[in-house]
Structure 1
């Protein structure tokens, strides 16, 4: 019995591994190595995960990177980690700033500070996200823009979404998900909202010298200069 399972199981695993490797070979790789000297970038949710890797790569390319995070202490730790990742570089500029996107008060404080300190923003990465149990009801602190600075230069807004948006369904009569069931995929719904937001934002920025991108970081491999993005859509 065990030998029979081995005969079928091992070839199956090998085939799956080969299929995976083949799919990886078809994923797009970022070959762009352009330096970003003098550019100012904001990355939300940059203290960990994909946001951290994005901030790290931008800093490596000499951009001045603002790590906008809900927890300021974690943002500071992320900045220190980025600096120590490139001991040979002396021009790494990473700035921790507090930004709780669940609070409009925090958002206003952040944007006021940015407008006060900078005359333009060249790159905005909307990466921050949230995860919580599907059986738990979570609300923002308010119960339910930096466009001027971005339009002063040839800028980009990148919305980090997911191909799971294909499983999403927006109910205009229940935007807060109060009538969600166990079958409701709120995460997929949020990613579909990302796509709709990107499309609508692109319409409003056509004449403002700002390009909007919505991307799915499928198969993202952590490591500087090693991030892979697939499913990128430009509106």
Structure 2
């Protein structure tokens, strides 16, 4: 009897874990020949899997990365797996506003099109600061991508119809923004949650400002993914986190599916400003749909990054 209970319990645990890790896969075969895609943080995790998927469909894929050595290694892998040589790498440090401006200047000189911008790079909640004295998490996850997108917006409009995809997380629901302290950096998890909420507000306001101009924007929660974010923490924390991720989190390939879906599916075109997960639109908490807060964050972000 004990053996039977053990077998049943193990089976229940296995099926529960399998159910929790379920994900829809986007099977669309739409080609992207002649299209240019820019992916921040495309050298690892979801960004790399997205790069492979879009390069396979014929897109010119540019991965923007901070670590040049890791980028070169990822570039070789992406080319091999996608069977495409139309993949490039450019240097970009989202923790440095000067680097972002220099990157955009070089990109606009080099590239005549930008059809899809995927703001994928991100930082977990860490008690650190950017070169411009912003909290690392808020500075990279929101402000860096805010400045990058705005500087590249003219090229997106010229290439219309075009799309902007901002990666966010369902953890947005655990915090609200405090405009008296947007640079909050006390509790790492709360800082991360606020940055992910900022990604959602940014997406909504971008969609409103570009309405009728051929540019659409989408916020994507890829699910909880077995990525390399634990590299910012101690060895013990990494071991424990890797165990939890192995049990409950999905693969990077599965996590990239909703990003790919929003990048190429025609179904999402009328849903600009929406929040997506598991290859479909998902509801947001009421406070995350406040257009007044979204507009206020946009104006505050403009001031913080000195965007005229």
- Which category of TM-score, normalised to the shorter sequence, fits these structures? 0.7 to 0.9
Contact 1:62–1:92 (CA<8 Å) still a contact in 2?
Answer: no
Task: Give 1:32 deviation, angstroms.
Answer: 1.1
Name the CA distance, whole Å, in 1 between partners of 2:93 and 2:218: 23
Number of positions where the alignment pairs a residue of Structure 1 with one of Structure 2 = 222
Deviations 1:103-138 (A, max 9, x none): 1110011100111112220000000001354xx3x1
Contact 1:168–1:191 (CA<8 Å) still a contact in 2?
Answer: no
Name the CA distance, whole Å, in 2 between partners of 1:16 and 1:191: 31
Q: Say which of 144, 155, 168 aligns to 1:161.
A: 168
Matches within 5 A, 1:9-20: 9-20=6-17
Contact 1:214–1:233 (CA<8 Å) still a contact in 2?
Answer: no
Name the CA distance, whole Å, in 2 between partners of 1:77 and 1:23: 32
Q: Does 1:140 align with 2:130?
A: yes
Name the CA distance, whole Å, in 2 between partners of 1:29 and 1:109: 37
Change (3 A) 1:112 1:227: closer
Normalised by the length of structure 2, the TM-score is: 0.65
Name the CA distance, whole Å, in 1 between partners of 2:16 and 2:50: 28
Q: Say which of 202, 205, 213 aligns to 1:208.
A: 213
Contact 2:43–2:71 (CA<8 Å) still a contact in 1?
Answer: yes
Name the CA distance, whole Å, in 2 between partners of 1:166 and 1:58: 30
Name the CA distance, whole Å, in 2 between partners of 1:228 and 1:173: 37
Change (3 A) 1:227 1:128: closer
Q: Which residue of 2 aligns with 1:51?
A: 47
SS at 1:185 equivalent: helix
Q: CA RMSD in A?
A: 2.5
Q: Which residue of 2 aligns with 1:32?
A: 28
Change (3 A) 1:47 1:211: same
Task: Give 1:193 deviation, angstroms.
Answer: 1.2
Normalised by the length of structure 1, the TM-score is: 0.84
Q: Does 1:116 align with 2:109?
A: yes
Gaps of 5+ in 2: 135-150, 225-249, 259-276, 283-288, 290-308
The structure with the largest alpha-carbon Rg is 1
Contact 2:175–2:193 (CA<8 Å) still a contact in 1?
Answer: yes
Change (3 A) 1:167 1:76: same
Larger relative helix fraction: 2
Q: Say which of 155, 174, 184 aligns to 2:181.
A: 174
Change (3 A) 1:11 1:39: same
